[in-house]
Amino acid sequence: MPTEKNNLYFVYLANKLSLINQFLSFPNPSVGAVSVSKNQILSTGITGLNGSPHAEYESIKNTKNKKVEKLYVSLIPCAHKGKNPSCTKIIKKKKIKKVIYSFDDYDVRVINRAKYDLKKNKITISKISINNPCFNEIKNYNYSKKNELPYITAKLAISSDYFAKNKNKKYFTNKKALKFAHLVRYKNDSILVGKNTFEDDLPLLNCRIKGIKKKNKIFLINQKLKFSKNAYKHLAKIKPYIFHSSRNNHLIKKIKLYCNLIYIPCGLNKNIDTKLICKKIFKLNCRKLLIEGGLKTQELFLKNNLLNEFLIVKSDKKFSKKGMIKALKLFKNLKTKFKSEKPFRLDDNNIFRYFS
Ligand SMILES: NC(=O)c1ccc[n+]([C@@H]2O[C@H](COP(=O)([O-])OP(=O)(O)OC[C@H]3O[C@@H](n4cnc5c(N)ncnc54)[C@H](OP(=O)(O)O)[C@@H]3O)[C@@H](O)[C@H]2O)c1
C-alpha cells in the first residue's frame, strides 16, 4: 500500500517537473504530472513549450497500455477542450481512479468544473498542498499574465558585514557560489544591470556551464547614454538592449550601430519608470528576468514592488575597511517584507532565498 511518505515523494516530483518549462508554456501554465501504479512511477509529463501538450496528456500517453492507479499533478487538471483535449476526459478514458494535485487554478470555474467532472465519474480528487512559494507556478503565471510582467529575480552577493563591493576583489564569493550564479543565469531568459555595474565590472553576463549553450537577452539602464571608452568596447561585444531617455541624436546614432536602444521618457523622480522597463522586457518575449545589480538598481525595482524573488549570497568573510556599498538596509527590508526559505550553505557562503 502507498504510504504517506511515498505520496509526498510523487507530489514533490510533479511540482519539481512543473518548474522545467516554467514561463515557457505561455499561454498555459507549466504543469508537472506523474503516473503511478503500485507505488512505481510509470511515466512523467510536463507542459510543452507554448502550452502543448498538457502534462497530464503527456504522462498518460507515455504509460502506453499499462494501468495507472494514481495521477499526481502540480495543478488541478483542466476540464475544458481548447487547443488541447480536456485532461479530465483523458483521465476518465484511462480509467484512473485517483488524482492528487497541489495547486488550484486561479479561475474558480476551472476548479469547480474539474471537481464536478471527476466526481461524476467516480474519480477521487484530493489536494496535497506544498508550502513552498517557488512551486506556486499558478500564482506566478497568473501574476505575469495579468500584469504582462516577467517573473523577476534579483541576486546580490554580500560580505558578512553587508558590503556588496570590495575595493580590491571583483569576485568575493566561493567557487561553488559562482557555479550557483551561473545556474541562476541559466534558469532565466534575460539579465538586467545598472549603469555603474556595467561600467565598473564590464560583465559578460553569459551562462558559463560546461556543455550548455544559453543565450539570454541582456538589458542595461543608462539614462544619458554616456559611456567610458572601455564600456564602448564592451557594448560592441555583448550588444545589450539599453533603456535610456536621451535626446542626444549624435550618441543615439553612434550606439545604435551595435545596440538596441529603447527610449523611455524620464519620470517625475528623474528615473526611468521601472515598471515600464519590465513591460518592455515582457513584450520582447522575456518571461524570467534576473537583475544582477547593482544595489541602486535593485533598490529601485524593490521600491516599486516589482521583485518576485531575491537571492542573497552571503560570504562568511568581513570586508571591514575594504568594503564599499552597504546593503544592510536592503537586507533588513527583505527580512521584513519578504517570506524566506531556510538558507542553504555552500562551504563558507550562505544562500538566502526570499519571495515577495
Ligand atoms: N555584490 C554583488 O552581487 C554586485 C552585483 C552587481 C554589481 N556590484 C557592484 O556594485 C557596483 C555598482 O552598484 P551601484 O548600486 O552603484 O550601481 P548600479 O545599480 O549598477 O547602477 C546604478 C545607476 O544606474 C542608473 N539607473 C538604474 N536604474 C535606473 C532607473 N530606473 N532610471 C534611471 N537610471 C537608473 C542610475 O544612473 P545615474 O545615476 O547616472 O542616473 C544609477 O545611479 C559595481 O561597482 C559592482 O562592482 C556588486
Report the CATH number at residue 55.
Answer: 3.40.140.10
Among the ranges given (149-158, 210-219, 300-309), the one the predictor scored with the smallest mean pLDDT: 210-219
Tens of pLDDT, residues 230-268: 999 999 999 999 999 999 999 999 999 989 999 999 877
Q: Write down the pLDDT at residue 174.
A: 96
pLDDT of residue 24: 83
Q: How many domains does the chain have?
A: 2
Distance 324 CA to ligand 1 centre (A): 13
Same-domain pairing of 8 and 153: no
Point out the domain boundary residue: 77, 103, 135: 135
Residue 143's pLDDT band, with cuts at 50, 70 and 90, is confident
Q: Do residue 117 and residue 239 come from a single domain?
A: no
Is the beta carbon of 200 within 6 A of some atom in ligand 1?
Answer: yes
Residue whose CA lies nearest to ligand 1 atom number 46? 197
Confidence of residue 270 (pLDDT cuts 50, 70, 90): confident
User: What is the distance in A from the centroid of ligand 1 to the CA of 37?
Assistant: 54
Residue 203's CATH number: 3.40.430.10
Closest CA to 183 of 317, 325, 51, 346: 346
Q: Average of pLDDT values for 137-153? A: 84
- 80-118 core/surface letters (b: 16 or more CB in 10 A; e: else): eeeebbbbbbbbbebebebbbbbbbbeeeebbebbbebb
Mean pLDDT of 31-57: 96
HSE-up of 75 (CA within 13 Å, CB side)? 31
Q: Ligand 1 centroid vs 293 CA: distance in angstroms?
A: 6
Are 261 and 242 spatial neighbours (Cβ–Cβ below 8 Å)?
A: yes
pLDDT at 4: 54
* Domain coverage including residue 61: 4-135
Q: How confident is the model at residue 197 (pLDDT cuts 50, 70, 90)?
A: very high
123: in domain: yes
- pLDDT value at position 1? 47
- 323-326 and 163-166 beta bridge pairing: antiparallel
